[in-house]
Amino acid sequence: MAVLEISDLVVAWDPRSGEQLPVRRDDVLATLRAAGDARAARIVERMPVAGEFLDQRAVNRTLVRVHTELQRLNEELHMAQRFAELLRPMLAATGVRRPRVVDIGCGLGFVLRSLAASGLLGADVELVGVDGNRALVDEAARLAAAEGLPCRFVCGDAFALDEDATVYLSNGVLHHFPAASLAEFFQAQDRPGTHGFLHYDIAATPLAPFGAWLFHRARMREPLGRHDGVASARRAHGDDVLLSAARQAAGLDAFLFEPIRFANPFCAAMRPVLGLRPELTDGFRRALGRRARGLVA
């Protein structure tokens, strides 16, 4: 049976107009029950409704709370440093004077805001976050403004990107897409002017669902977040699936960095798939230094 995340079902946005669409609660409940997930259905049953539809404002507030809690996990896993570790040599290899980094499915923009606050990428890098959920985009922009961080956030579709980028990145987004859609996701980033992509997601180890349960039970209070955290680990794509899909972006060389079979499963909570223009690969390896041993094509 399909593993579903509640957060994927309780909101819908029109990708063209950016307007939030009403979601019928009974439809969500039927989908979850058909997937055999009674616990998720109980969580949705407790969500406020306006008539037969989920209360959009309440749902948005819940998702902001969940993403706020989720940020703590990203902080503990040093996700911004993990991105910087690979982004810096990637950007150096491109030789682009004012590179543009676009975070797809940025949520509250933790990675970009962290990179902006730390200055790890230098002052000349433009940082843009894209997400299909306007409530999260608005909150990300508010948070960036509150701290005076040089990054911005816009609404957008991960499969039809309006934002050009030197490097595209994402964090914990890939498992939201079915395996059959992954190739299209990567191909959408194989664009003129784009030098590479860097997408971190949950490593599909046998320990991942248990680790996710433990981590979310210890760190998160929102029932929706706890549910989706475990579901996301259960639906994480394997290394072979990711690498195969990334190779469909024909103009880019695809790699995994420190794939599961070479890493301590306890340390491999998140691992990236990345792509680079072939002419940049050698320069990237040199800039990466000793860590280049972790690149597997």
Partner 1 sequence: MTVAVSLVLLALVDAAFAGFRAATGRNARIRKRRYYARAAARGLALGAIGMAVTATVILVPLGDRFDDLVVAGVLMGQVLLPFAAVVVLSMVAYWLLPMRESTFVILVGLGPFTLVRPLVVVAAVVWAGLGTDDWLVRLDAVVAAAAVLAVEPLTHHRWYRAPIGSVG
| 114 token code pair | 């962290």
Residue 47 engages partner 1 in binding (rule: CB under 8 A): no
| Spatial contact of 260 and 205, defined as CB atoms under 8 Å apart | yes
| 241 token code pair | 């699936």
Could you write out the DSSP letters of every residue in 146-163?
HTT-S-EEEE-BTTB--S
Span of 19-27, 90-98, 143-151, 227-235 interacting with partner 1 by CB under 8 A: 143-151
Those residues whose C-beta lies under 8 Å from the C-beta of residue 8, and which sit 6 or more positions away, are 176
Q: What is the DSSP letter of 24?
A: B
* Residue showing tokens 């899909």: 245
Residue 226 engages partner 1 in binding (rule: CB under 8 A): no
CB of 185 or CB of 215, closer to partner 1: 215
Residue 135 engages partner 1 in binding (rule: CB under 8 A): yes
Span of 29-37, 42-50, 57-65, 162-170 interacting with partner 1 by CB under 8 A: 57-65
CB of 33 or CB of 72, closer to partner 1: 72
Distance, in Å, from the CA atom of 72 to the CA atom of 66, rounded to the nearest integer, reads 10
Residue 24 engages partner 1 in binding (rule: CB under 8 A): no
Single residue of 100, 113, 176, 226 touching partner 1 by CB under 8 A: 113
Residue 126 engages partner 1 in binding (rule: CB under 8 A): no
CB of 110 or CB of 185, closer to partner 1: 110
Single residue of 149, 155, 179, 241 touching partner 1 by CB under 8 A: 149
H-type alpha helices, the chain: 6-9, 25-34, 38-45, 56-76, 79-94, 110-118, 134-146, 179-187, 208-219, 223-234, 239-246, 281-288
Single residue of 22, 45, 214, 293 touching partner 1 by CB under 8 A: 214
Residue 137 engages partner 1 in binding (rule: CB under 8 A): no
CB of 30 or CB of 267, closer to partner 1: 267
How far separated are the first and last CA of the chain, in Å rounded? 32
Single residue of 114, 170, 171, 232 touching partner 1 by CB under 8 A: 114
Residue 261 engages partner 1 in binding (rule: CB under 8 A): no
Residue 55 engages partner 1 in binding (rule: CB under 8 A): no
Helix (H) or strand (E) holding 253: strand 253-257
| Spatial contact of 112 and 101, defined as CB atoms under 8 Å apart | yes
Residue 20 engages partner 1 in binding (rule: CB under 8 A): no
Single residue of 217, 261, 286, 293 touching partner 1 by CB under 8 A: 217
* Residue 120 C-beta: closest distance to partner 1, Å: 12
Those residues whose C-beta lies under 8 Å from the C-beta of residue 285, and which sit 6 or more positions away, are 292, 295
Residue 271 engages partner 1 in binding (rule: CB under 8 A): no
Rounded to 5 degrees, what are φ and ψ at 245? -70, -40
Catalog residues that contact partner 1 under the rule CB under 8 A: 60-62, 64-65, 67-69, 71-72, 76-78, 81-82, 85, 108, 110, 113-114, 117, 135, 139, 142-143, 146-147, 149, 211, 214-215, 217-221, 264, 266-267, 269
